[in-house]
Amino acid sequence: MGRKLLLEHINVPGINTFDVYRQKGGYRAVEKALKMTPDEVVEEVKKSGLRGRGGAGFPTGMKWSFLAKPEGVARYLVCNADESEPGTFKDRFLMTHIPHALIEGMIVSSFALGAKTSYIYVRGEMMPQIRILERAIAEAKNAGFLGKNILGSGYDLELYVQPGGGAYICGEETALLESLEGKRGNPRIKPPFPAIAGLYGCPTVVNNVESIAATVPIINDGGDEYAKIGIGRSTGTKLISASGNLVKPGVYEIELGLSVEEFLYSDEYCGGIANGKRLKATVAGGSSVPVLPANLSLKLANGEPRLMSYESLSEGGFATGTMMGSGGFIAFDEDQCIVRNTWNFSRFYHHESCGQCSPCREGTGWMEKVLHRLEYGHGKMSDIDLLVDVSKKIEGNTICPLGDAAAWPVASAIRHFRDEFEWHVKEPVKALETNYGLANYAEPIKKVEVTS
């Protein structure tokens, strides 16, 4: 059994209430942190090697130490709970079931950064979670963990929950800040980075829900202890939202460094591919990372097993690797159509592009239309090269990473599954009725017994 840090008490009835959470050792981190100095807390987080859980994997401690601290200017901590990546649902799970873990993490992190006001920006569609969080904040306030003079330490903190409008782009940190300020959620042009001029022009740190919650075990056990879990520079545990054709889809907490094969096939985690089918492809970190065929998902190009860690997943660059992303693990079995799936992702990015900069605004729509044509049997052979070309024109030329996120799935799908795209052009009628199947994407992987 892997160690559980965040979801240790997930099955305790009533863990979403303050009393039960407190009984199970909750808010110890706050008590401990408030006795330390803010710099010591930052140092602990730095030592832990915690990397941002939102997608980019930037070390959280580093991010905190970059925060400008001019005299007399307010600093803000903003929690990015605008989780809208297709395939990712770990933050929603965390907020629904143990909201106090997030509140506790917010208090610790705000104290470390010296923020007197902190915001949790929750995606607009998550109304139940907003109510849960607001109730949790009220409970924490009643118990004296929020408000003026927390636990007699002289530290004041107000925590606010702000519902967003439900735009994917508002998960980008600067767009989130714009939206929080009440403006149109367009990403800002960087630099300046939020650590210098963020919310209302003040230094701001934006962190993912899971990163903030992970500060709780770091403070409780110490940064060094946390750094022992995991592998290499990927330390600690990570929540993975597994979905797709799996026997047991759901949110799992894994120790980083677990092999992909074990995660997919062991009964502790996903339990294998549903209905006795075989694995065709995986998307390892939410829809914006490159899609990988089964053989490359399980093994590196040199034959070593691929591990669930930031380094191992991105091993081989974009030619044979992918990315950890936000941990939205999607598995496709042999009956799934990659062209249709790519079109579906592309449709999402077309719909969610903010329309600020031209390559993303126009290019995502173009890719979506070409993929739609391919999927419905009106494609041409030249369309495939066209898609690669358009995705190259978008990638890297946009203000925010949404352009890259839209381009990568398309480019990688064509890189690895080109024969399937070509089959859609050659056999347009057949492609509508049947699927391409497994072809040669997977080395013969042993069929796993159906467990249910």
Partner 1 sequence: MSDKVKVTIDGISIEVAPGTSILNAARQIGGDIVPPAMCYYSKLEGSGGKCRTCIVKVSKGSEKDPRPMPKLVASCRTTVMDGMEVQNITSPEVIEARSGVVEILLINHPLDCPVCDQAGECDLQNLGYEHGLQKTRYEFERRTFERIDIGDKIQLHMNRCILCYRCVFTADQITNKRVHGILNRGDHSEISTYIQTAVDNDFSGNVIDVCPVGALTDKTFRFRNRVWFTKPVDAHRDCPTCSGKVTLWYKGADVLRVTARKDIYGEVEEFICNTCRFDKKKTEDWVIEHPTHISDASVISSNHYETMKPLPVIQNNPKLQAANKVELEKTSKF
Q: Where do contacts with partner 1 occur on this chain (CB under 8 A)?
A: 167, 169, 184, 189, 350-359, 361-366, 369, 386, 389-390, 392-394, 396-399
**What values do phi and psi take at 30, rounded to 5?**
-65, -45
- At closest approach, how far in Å is the CB of 359 from partner 1? 5
Helix residue ranges, H only, 190-309: 209-221, 223-228, 260-265, 294-298
Residues 234/54, Cβ–Cβ less than 8 Å? no
**Least distance (Å) between residue 112 CB and partner 1:** 28
Whole-angstrom CA distances from 437 to 189, 209, 281 are 44, 38, 11
- The radius of gyration of the chain's CA atoms, rounded to the nearest angstrom, is 22
| Nearer to partner 1 among residue 307 and residue 394 (C-beta) | 394
- Report in angstroms how near the CB of residue 84 gets to partner 1 at its nearest: 13
Q: Kindly tell me which of 169 and 195 has the beta carbon lying closer to partner 1.
A: 169
Q: Which two tokens stand for residue 440?
A: 């040669």
DSSP 155-180: --BEEEEEE--S-GGGGSHHHHHHHH
| CB of residue 351 to partner 1, shortest distance in Å | 6
Give SS3 for 201.
helix
Q: Is the CB of 141 or the CB of 373 nearer to partner 1?
A: 373
Q: Are strands 117-122 and 76-81 parallel, antiparallel or unpaired?
A: parallel
**CA dist., res. 46 & res. 146, Å (int):** 25
Nearest residue (CB) to partner 1, 141 versus 361: 361
In whole angstroms, the minimum distance from the beta carbon of 378 to partner 1 comes to 10
Rounded to a whole number of angstroms, the minimum distance from the CB of residue 228 to partner 1 is 33
How many other C-beta atoms are found inside a 10 Å radius of the C-beta of residue 201? 13
What's the DSSP call for residue 439?
T
Q: How far is the CB of 164 from partner 1 (least distance, A)?
A: 13
Q: How far is the CB of 370 from partner 1 (least distance, A)?
A: 8
CA atoms of 46 and 32, how far apart (whole Å): 17
Residue number with CB closer to partner 1 (149 or 358): 358
CA 227/CA 231 separation, integer angstroms: 9
Strand-pairing partners, residue 239, are 253
118 vs 314 by CB, closer to partner 1: 314
Asked whether the beta carbons of 213 and 236 are under 8 A apart, the reply is no
Residue 293 and residue 307: Cα distance in Å, rounded?
Answer: 15
Q: How far is the CB of 198 from partner 1 (least distance, A)?
A: 16
- Residue 235, token pair as written in the block: 């330390």
The CA–CA distances, whole Å, from 111 to 34, 41, 122, 397 equal 7, 8, 21, 38
Nearer to partner 1 by C-beta: 101 or 394? 394
Minimum distance of partner 1 from residue 390's CB (angstroms)? 8
- Cβ nearer to partner 1, comparing 351 with 430: 351
Compute the distance between CA of residue 231 and CA of residue 200 in angstroms, rounded to an integer: 39
What is the C-alpha to C-alpha distance for residues 325 and 420, in angstroms, rounded to an integer? 26
Instruction: Name which of 84 and 398 has its Cβ closer to partner 1.
Output: 398
CA-based torsion, 363, 364, 369, 374: positive or negative: positive
79/411 with CB nearer partner 1: 411
Residue closer to partner 1, measured from CB, 189 or 432? 189
On the 0-12 / 13-18 / 19+ scale of CB atoms within 10 A, 319 is exposed
| Closest approach of partner 1 to the CB of residue 188, in Å | 9
